[in-house]
Structure formats: C-alpha cells, structure tokens
Structure 1
Amino acid sequence: MADQIITNAQDKMKKAEDALTRELGTIRAGRANASILNRVMVDYYGAATPLNQVASITIPEARILMVTPYDKSALEDIEKGIMESDVGITPANDGTAIRLVIPQLTEERRKEIAKNVKAKAEEGKVAVRNVRRDAMDSIKKGHKNGDYTDDDLHNLEEQVQKVTDKAIKGVDAIAAAKEKEIMTD
C-alpha cells in the first residue's frame, strides 16, 4: 500500500515533467522545430485533422520548415490551417509545398519567451506539488486508520519529499535547457 502511494506519486510527477516538455516543445526558439506545428489542425475533407497526418514536415535549413502535403489538393487547406493557428508565421505557398521561415528573434522577444518558459515551469512545479500533497494526504489517512506507525509515517513522508525534490529538479532542468536554447542564437 505504502509503496503503491510512492509509485503513483512518481508516475504522476513524471507525467507532469513530460507534459512540460511537450508544452515547451511548441514554443518557438528562433530555430526550425517541427513540434511548433503539433497543434495545427487542417480542415481535410471536412474533418479537423492534425497537420502531421496530411503532410510531411522537414527542416531543409536551420530557420526553414517545409510542409509537403501527401495529397496536393490539400495544399490550400494546409496553408489556411497554418494561418488560423497560433504559430505566428506566415506560410509561403510555392504550389507544391509550403515554406515557413522562422524569423530571427530580437533580444526583447527572447526575454519575453524565456519569461513564458519560467511561467510554464512554475505550472509544472505546481502540478508536482499537488501530487505531493495528494500522496501526503493518503499517507496521513493511512496513519489515521492505523495502517502505519508514527515511524512509518515519518519515513513515508521523507520518501515522498525525496521524490518531489527529484521531480522539481527535473522540471528546473527542462526549463533551463529550453531557456538556454532560446537565449542562444
């Protein structure tokens, strides 16, 4: 029972880290990164379809994303989907593919994005702390029911805190890596 509480907490904290990684992957860092198009949906034959299911996304140069549709008739729908998304890049349609040129980031914009990364990291830490709180509540409930002795309670609380500290360090590392990517050219 106690091991299950710790394991569940670890799993949920890992999921919070993974969610942060996915979230930060969609933030533009001045370099071409196909994951910035993950949320783009295309109206493909009347159904909202993720862009990566109707086109291949390649990076021919450091600051260029090339979107090549599998079905050439979907080119205009793909262009429209990119325009309507929150990517913030105007697509250039050459008749067979769409080019997205990632603009050079200004220092001011880099700082703004880094601030956004810190905010997302803080959300990740809050998620980890919420998991910690739930685990602590379960442990205390078990202690109250007589499942754990006072020593067991203390040991389990220490284990949960160690798992939490490790997850918080992981969140910080993920955010620091993204900030470094944004601040370097």
Structure 2
Amino acid sequence: MASVMASIEALKGINDQLRKRMEKTVDDYGAHLVSVRTGRASVHMLDGIKVDYYGSEVPISQVAQIMTPEAQLIEVKPWEQPMVAAIEKAIRTSGKGFNPMHDGKLIRVPVPPMNEERRRDAVKQLAGVLEDHKTSIRNIRRDGNDAVKKAAKDKQISADDEKRANEEIQQLTDQEIKRIEEMFKNKEKEVMTI
C-alpha cells in the first residue's frame, strides 16, 4: 500500500511541475500578445523597451509614467527631467516603428493607424511566436514523459500508471496548446479589425 501511495505522489509531483511550467509558457505568450501593436494606443506597446538609467538597463515603466490620453497617442512623463532624451532615444531605436517627440518634459508617441501590410506582418510575427511557445510546451511534455519513463524503469510506478500518466501529460499538453491558439486567434482578430 505504501508503494502505491509513493507512486501516486511521484506522479502527482511530476504533473504539478509540468502544469506550472506550461502555465508559465502560456503566461509568457500572453505577455507578448499584450505588447503587440493593434493600431490603438496601449501603455503595453512600450513593454520590452529598456532605457539606460545611470548605467542599468531598465523598463521605461520604472523611470516614467506612461499614459494613453487618446486612441492614437501614448504619453511618457519621466520622473526625472534628464531622462527625457534617453527615453526618447530608446523608443525611437526600439524597432517598433515609433517616432516620439518631446517638449523637454513630456514625450509624445503618436501611434499611426496600421495599414493592411503592417497588420499582416504583425499577425505573421505572432504566428511565429505562437509556434515557438507551442514547441516549448511540447518540450515540457517530453521532459514529463522522460520523468515518467524513468520512474517506471526504476520500478517506482507500474506499467498501467506509466500509461495513465503519459495520457494525462498529453491531455495537459493539448489543453495548454489549445489555450494559446485561442489567445492567438483573439489577438489576430483584434489586429486585423480596422
């Protein structure tokens, strides 16, 4: 009886660890989706842009207040005036296609409406990132299957437990992949809507 309980605990531990790793991958994809341009201004569009703050690379949100007063405008108000030029430069050189302007105190980042080509490029980029995250989830599945196989080889679990564990891992994998595919579809619809 004790060995059965130990095998159940071992499988539960493997399953919990895989679930956490897969959820972290899904959360990472969700964070990436938030920062993608949709033609409507969002404070998250500047996520991932780092600025030099006295020798350290930090996110803009840690050195300034970011606001969206209009649908096509992001405003960045640095907490320290000497940071204005550094923040403007970081936004301009970020590769996100923004053309910021400042008046010495406030940085205005106009968000031009996206044309059809930019929308398609954004969706294509999202699809590539989706594939990367699906691959990550599959790699986590492989790690789980390897752990189950090792537990079976070490006689910690029975062949039936091994089969059941592999099926549960596959169900979890399918569920998480479906979740990020739904996230992609929703974002694709948002990006392609004019």
Whether the TM-score (by the shorter chain) exceeds 0.5 is yes
Matches of 2:84 and 2:172, distance apart in 1: 48
TM-score when normalising by structure 1: 0.94
1:107 partner letter? E
Count of residue correspondences:
185
Taking the aligned partners of 2:52 and 2:148, their CA distance within structure 1 comes to 49
Task: Return the match for 1:152 from 148, 154, 161.
Answer: 161
1:153-178: per-residue Cα shift (whole Å, max 9, x none)?
Answer: 11111111111111011111111121
Segments of structure 1 that go 5 or more residues without pairing to the other structure are: none
| Partner of residue 182, structure 2 | 173
Please provide the CA RMSD for this pair: 1.3
Structure 2 unaligned spans of 5+: 1-9
* SS of match in other structure, 1:104: coil
Taking the aligned partners of 1:11 and 1:46, their CA distance within structure 2 comes to 35
| SS of structure 1 residue aligned to 2:21 | helix
| Alignment of 1:162 onto 2:191 | no
Cα distance in 1 for partners of 2:193, 2:131 equals: 22
Deviations 1:59-110 (A, max 9, x none): 0011110001111232122212212222210101123211111111111221
163 and 78 in structure 1: CA distance in 2 versus 1, 3 angstrom threshold = same
Matched to 2:191, the amino acid is: I
Q: Secondary structure at the match of 1:87?
A: coil
CA distance in 2 between counterparts of 1:169 and 1:161 reads 12
Are 1:25 and 2:64 counterparts?
no
**1:121 matched residue in structure 2:** 130
Which runs of structure 2 are paired with 1:27-66 in the superposition (5 Å)?
27-66=36-75
- The structural deviation recorded for 1:26 is 2.3
1:12 aligned residue = 21
Counterpart residue number, 1:140: 149
Identity %: 36
Residue type of the partner of 1:15? K
Which is worse superposed, 38-47 or 64-73? Answer: 38-47
